[in-house]
Structures are given as C-alpha cells and as structure tokens.
Amino acid sequence: MDLLNTLVDKGLRRESPTREEALAVLATSDDELLDVVAAAGKVRRAWFGRRVKLNYLVNLKSGLCPEDCSYCSQRLGSKSEILKYTWLKPEQAAAAAGAGVAGGAKRVCLVASGRGPTDRDVDRVSKTIAAIKEEHQDVEICACLGLLSDGQAARLKDAGANAYNHNLNTSEATYGDITTTHTYADRVSTVQQAQAAGMSACSGLIAGMGESDEDLVDVVFSLRDLDPDSVPVNFLIPIEGTPLAGDWNLTPQRCLRILAMVRFVCPDVEVRLAGGREIHLRTLQPLALNLANSIFLGDYLTTEGQSGKDDLAMIADAGFEVEGTDTTTLPKHRADALAAAGSGCGGHGGEGGGCGPCGDAAPADAVPAQAAAGVTASTPAAAEGSHADLVAVRRRGAGTDLPPNA
C-alpha cells in the first residue's frame, strides 16, 4: 500500500505526514487494519525498540472540581459516585507511589483535581516529591495539577519534578463544546510554561467524545507543533453521572487506527496508551503495544484499570519488555535536547485525560462504605452496544485503606 510505505519512510526520517495522509490512515478499512498496525509498528520499533515504559498514577486529591469538563467524573456538578478526599499527606502519597514502583513503574504521575494549584499546593506537592525521591531516587516524577501560574513551573522543577502533564484533549475548534470554564489557549500556555522551565512536557488527547476525523488530526498536529516529549492517547471512559456517560463511539479497530495515526505524526515521541484502553481495545490491547511504547500500570484517577499482573503478562506475551530505570526512554536526539533544556528526564494523561485533572480542593469526605468493604462498583449498562459493565469506579489505593492495584 503506497500510503503506508510513504508514512513509514517519513516516520523514519522524523518527517510529518500531510493532513491528507493522516486522515487517510483513519479512513482505512478493517481489511487493511493489520497492514496499518504493521507499518506504524516499524516506526515505533525504529525509535523505541520493543520496550514498554510503565507509568503509575497517584491521585493526590479527588473530586469536586470547579471546572466543567464534560468527560470528567470530578467535574462541577458531577453525579458520579467517585472517591472524594482532600490532599494526601506526603508519606501517604509516597506509599502509593512505592506500590507502582514495586510493580515496575519507571514514572510516577502525581495528579490533583483543581483548576490550578495555589502556591500552598505547590509547596505540598514539593514535599510529596521529596518524600518519594527519598525512597526511590531514580523514579521520574510527573506533576499534573491543572493550569499553572507564573513561576510555579520553575518551583516544581526545582522541587524535583521531571515532567508536567496538561492535555489539549480535543481540537481548538471543538474545545468549547467540551469545556467552558477555561480555554484551549489556557492549556497551550501551561504546556509552554512547563517547557520554558526545563521540564519534559506531556500533553495528549481524548478520543471518543463525538469528534470528527478532522478534529482528531487537528489536535494531533497541534500537539506536534507544541513538541511534547510524551503524548498520552486516552479513549473516553463514559462514566455514569457525567454528560458523556452515553457516548460509546469507539471500536477496537478505530482505537488502533487512532494510535497508528498518532505514531505516524509523532514518530519519535513517547506515545502512551492511556485511559480507556481496557474497555475500548479489550482483547486487542496487545496489538496496541506495536503502536504505543508506554502504558499506565494498574488503576486510573477515579476508575479501575486492568490488574498490574495482567498488564505485565500482556507485555511479555506480546513479545515486549518492560523498560528499566537504566534505559533512556527517548531517542538520543530528543533526550539530548531535553538535557540541554535542563531536565534530566528521558521522556513522558486518567479516565479521558491521561494524567490530566480537572477541580478545586475537595473536602475530606469519608471513604464510601463499599470501599471499606472492598466492593467494586460498576455502572449500569448505558446505551445498546456500550460496554458500561466494564467501567468500575476506583475503590482501592490512594484515598482508601485498601491496597492499590499495581
């Protein structure tokens, strides 16, 4: 197929495809799907071999966000029955992070709901970073705290944060349909502030919110222009109690095409298979490892993920290997550029958001009774053809007395 040969050649040269070529990937048929995966897999292996980087989310505070992001269970007015708790203490966060590191995670993503951190919040997170680094000196730390104010990125960098995550989520043209309490430009500005401070930038998208192929290509090309080191690709988790609870627009085949398109547009970037992979890719998850070189281990912010041991088994069974702490994630040219900018990190999303949050400080609510009892709550089936039975609200790990999934 001439299109795929062209895209492979461009990917090996770090040359961007045209918009028309990117759209053509999304328009390929199911009969061509394995050819698309194989072609994008050549680009993935050229830059990242068969390594898979593991990342672990720690939700530092959860719920009652003042923002109105339609995909988010922590949003203003959310009726989702999620865990709600205020800031974890540094030692609690360090313990949660330790579970992920023990499971093989190379990076810990510290997430807090909120429009953006106060200076006091930055102090809290700085103490948490210190507590984690004291126990796990080599672990990468990515902070994800919402919109940044002047000087906050530099303070986080000085505290030991290697990276900062803030996702664009969708195209600029459709952003106002998803969120009204902040702008697309606000998000771009935060990514740029992180880069200016010398942190590795992580910024990605959410697919499945009713966007068109053109919207998907728009946001991925915008991400390429921003040049983050990591692009998490999230697939919307339609959580009961959110405006998008009934939006089941994805098939496993479409998810693979989206991942392939992202790989072709961002050939030498860490592409992370993020929120929603289990419920949308389902049994085709191993195929996605040919496209993405990074995944989250275990649970997400407010929903449960695949068990950590199943993640590790999937990676091994698919013929891939977990990336060690002694390996630099990014290709040399990107790692060298990042080091020159002042970050020692080798690279860097969340249900529908990678490690991207959305809220204000949550009250110290008690953990729901079902959490203490170890019960996992699943949402009822939504529209016909949905897989809502696969969406389980997180009732373990951070903010509970139950062991985390790692």
Q: 């969708």: which residue's tokens?
A: 170
| 33 located within any domain | no
255 is catalytic: no
| 125 located within any domain | yes
Taking the C-alpha atoms of residue 17 and residue 406, their distance in angstroms, rounded to an integer, is 37
Q: Cite the beta strand spans of 116-260 per DSSP E.
A: 140-144, 163-165, 200-202, 205-207, 230-235
13 is catalytic: no
The answer to whether the CB of 320 falls within 8 A of the CB of 289 is: yes
The answer to whether the CB of 183 falls within 8 A of the CB of 190 is: no
Structural domain that includes position 155: 42-341
| 402 located within any domain | no
| 357 located within any domain | no
- 211-269: per-residue pLDDT in tens? 999 999 999 999 999 999 999 999 998 888 888 888 999 999 999 999 999 999 999 99
Residues recorded for the chain: 406
Residue 72 marked in a binding site = yes
Determine the average pLDDT of the residues in 43-63: 95
* Nearest partner of 60 among 136, 114, 133, 104, judged by Cα: 114
What tokens were used for 136?
């796990």
Taking the C-alpha atoms of residue 355 and residue 112, their distance in angstroms, rounded to an integer, is 9
CATH number of the domain at 330, please: 3.20.20.70
Residue 202 marked in a binding site = yes
pLDDT, the chain, mean? 87
Describe the chain by its helix, strand, coil percentages, rounded to 5.
40, 15, 45
Q: Cite the beta strand spans of 251-297 per DSSP E.
A: 270-273, 294-296
| 241 located within any domain | yes
Select which of 72, 266, 345, 358 is catalytic: 72
Q: Which pLDDT value is given to residue 218?
A: 98
The verdict on pTM exceeding 0.85 is: yes
Q: Which pLDDT value is given to residue 375?
A: 34
* Nearest partner of 161 among 174, 143, 149, judged by Cα: 143
Residue 224 marked in a binding site = no
Please, is 13 exposed, middle or buried when counting C-beta atoms within 10 Å of its C-beta (0-12, 13-18, 19+)? Answer: exposed
Other residues' Cβ atoms within 10 Å of the Cβ of residue 309: 12
Residue 142 marked in a binding site = yes
Select which of 44, 75, 124, 142 is catalytic: 142
| 373 located within any domain | no
266 is catalytic: no
Q: Are strands 140-144 and 377-378 parallel, antiparallel or unpaired?
A: unpaired
| 136 located within any domain | yes
Range list of H helices, 61-212: 90-102, 119-135, 152-159, 175-178, 184-196
142 is catalytic: yes
pLDDT-derived band at 384, boundaries 50, 70, 90: low
* Nearest partner of 208 among 279, 269, 270, 272, judged by Cα: 279
* Alpha-carbon torsion, ordered 112, 118, 124, 130, to 10 deg: 90
What tokens were used for 266?
């961002």
Residue 109 marked in a binding site = yes
Q: Which pLDDT value is given to residue 345?
A: 55
| 304 located within any domain | yes
Select which of 65, 255, 345, 355 is catalytic: 65
Residue 51 marked in a binding site = no
pLDDT-derived band at 370, boundaries 50, 70, 90: very low
- The more confident residue out of 20 and 325 is 20
272 is catalytic: yes
78-92, 94-108, 141-155, 230-244: least confidently modelled range = 78-92
110-119, 343-352, 385-394: least confidently modelled range = 343-352
Select which of 144, 202, 266, 355 is catalytic: 202
* Nearest partner of 258 among 140, 384, 134, 170, judged by Cα: 170
pLDDT-derived band at 88, boundaries 50, 70, 90: very high
Residue 255 marked in a binding site = no
Select which of 254, 272, 394, 395 is catalytic: 272
* CA distances, 55 to each of 255, 301, 311, 353 (Å): 20, 13, 12, 14
Q: 């013929």: which residue's tokens?
A: 319
Rg of the chain taking only CA atoms, in angstroms: 19
How many domains are there within the chain? 1
pLDDT-derived band at 113, boundaries 50, 70, 90: confident
345 is catalytic: no
